[in-house]
Amino acid sequence: MLTGLQVAVLGGDARQLEIIRKLTELDAKIYLAGFDQLEQSFTGAVKENMEDIPFEQIDAIVLPVAGLQATGEVETIFSKSHLRLSKDIFDRTPKHCVIFTGISPPLLTNMAEKAGRKLVRLFDRDDVAIYNSIPTAEGTVLMAIQHTDFTIHGSTVAVIGMGRVGMSVARTFNNLGANVLLGARRSEHLARAIEMGLTPFKMNELSAVAEKADIIINTVPSLVVTASAIAKMRPHTLIIDLASKPGGTDFRYAEKRGIKAILALGLPGLVAPKTAGQILANVLAELLKNDATK
């Protein structure tokens, strides 16, 4: 239980609702800012203006998964008012106050460091990334269906990267009957591809693979789907880039060639916000419990 813990949830999307629900079930007291247009209510949660939240008593601040915009504004879909976060707000909190975010843009990182407050990036955690790879894989399947005129079954799908997302995506497309080619640099990852019943290829072989791939899915956050690879692709080839912004694809050259290339950011929150929110809520609750027992 989180009885006695006071948490400020600032802005966010539908995923935040699952976090609020979980924390109120655990008896935490929740202050909500940026939710004035939300009709739903939660026992133990009160809607406040930012200036009315008693930050001097707050044990944790929960931000949207994207953290802050470059302007310092907090994104929210449940309010038309503008929420702005500043270092002064962090300074008002107790020294033990923890700030939770999905990712941390430089502005947020600098503010937390200058205020001396602990900043937890949930998306950096292996457990969150692995759980999130499930809705990401399902969302990738959805995008593949929406943007092609052929079945996944029997198609050739090249997945680049053998990380937490790449492995789940490759397994999902393989289970749907695709001929999955898995690209990686490390020998142990190529060996794992064989163990999974997939066809491995080295990254310097991507241009040759691109000639026969119907769908290319990138998970590597650096430029790997280059112009030389795109030049070999057939007109119907679809590129789905799951890497963090700006992705790992030469989108300019893909457009020039007439190859459809999609930078698919935040798929869990788009295709399965309830599940994505529950993933974050469960991990966040455990972290708060651990901090409360210290």
- The CATH 3.40.50.720 portion of the chain extends over 6-122+272-292, 128-263
Average pLDDT, the chain: 94
pLDDT of residue 66: 86
Residue 133 has pLDDT above 70, yes or no: yes
Residues paired with 262 in a beta bridge: 240
Taking CA 36 as the corner, what is the angle to CA 49 and CA 59, rounded to the nearest 5 degrees? 50
Instruction: Please tell me the CATH code under which domain 128-263 is placed.
Output: 3.40.50.720
Q: Are 207 and 232 in contact (CB under 8 A)?
A: yes
Residue 54 has pLDDT above 80, yes or no: yes
| Tokens of residue 271, six digits | 């295709």
Strand order, beta sheet including 45-47: 45-47, 29-33, 6-10, 60-62, 98-101, 118-121
pLDDT in tens, 162-197: 999 999 999 999 999 999 999 999 999 999 999 999
May I ask the CATH class of domain 6-122+272-292?
alpha beta
What pLDDT was estimated at residue 294? 59
- Cα(92)–Cα(187) distance, integer angstroms: 50
Q: What is the distance, to the nearest Å, from the Cα of residue 79 to the centroid of all Cα atoms in its chain?
A: 22
pLDDT one-digit tens code per residue, 217-229:
999 999 999 999 9
With beta carbons less than 8 A apart as the criterion, state whether 151 and 179 touch: no
pLDDT tens across 220-258, in order? Answer: 999 999 999 999 999 999 999 999 889 999 999 999 999
Read off the pLDDT of residues 71-111 as tens digits, 9 standing for 90 and up: 889 999 999 888 999 899 999 999 999 999 999 999 999 99
Q: Tell me the C-alpha distance between 26 and 62, whole Å.
A: 16
- In this prediction, residue 41 carries a pLDDT of 84
Q: Which residues of 114-127 are buried (b: 16+ CB within 10 A; e: fewer)?
A: ebebebbbbbeeee
